Amino acid sequence: EGLRLHLSSSSSTGYKCVRADRSRYQAAHSVGGRVVYLGGWYRTAVEAAVVYARAVGEYQPPAPPTVATEAEGLRLHLSSRNATGYKGVQADGDRFLARHWVDGKEAVSLGTFATPVEAAVAYARAVGE
């Protein structure tokens, strides 16, 4: 997830700002000299340590997946507003649906594909690119 967890040799949990109470764990953070508890109780010390790392700004989101710009001799239509990275392609369970709009009114399904690139190729063919 891109987090750096804060280890502590002086804490019984092994993590900075994570405390244990029987079989539960809680993360806390000091803000202006006051203790602020982060969320509720967690089942593991690691879960609480992740909450602490996010709270102190250690969260680094994973890099966006790289997308192909061309495939099978076609220019693929990239989209920064679409989670798949391609215009006309959306996740459909564990597959990817390609579709395009005709005259801005009617969605035409181009099929489902195993990868987003395959779906993007179908979209590029359909729109004449």
40-50 pLDDT, tens digit per residue, is 899 999 999 99
Degrees, nearest 5: CA angle 98-102-106:
80
**106 has pLDDT over 90:** no
Q: Of 47, 60, 46, give the one whose Cα is nearest residue 1.
A: 60
**61 has pLDDT over 70:** no
- Do 24 and 43 meet the contact criterion of CB atoms below 8 Å apart? yes
Q: How confident is the model at residue 122 (pLDDT cuts 50, 70, 90)?
A: very high
Q: How confident is the model at residue 104 (pLDDT cuts 50, 70, 90)?
A: confident
Share of the chain above pLDDT 70, in %: 91
**Rounded CA gap, 86 and 71, in Å?**
12
- Do 52 and 18 meet the contact criterion of CB atoms below 8 Å apart? yes
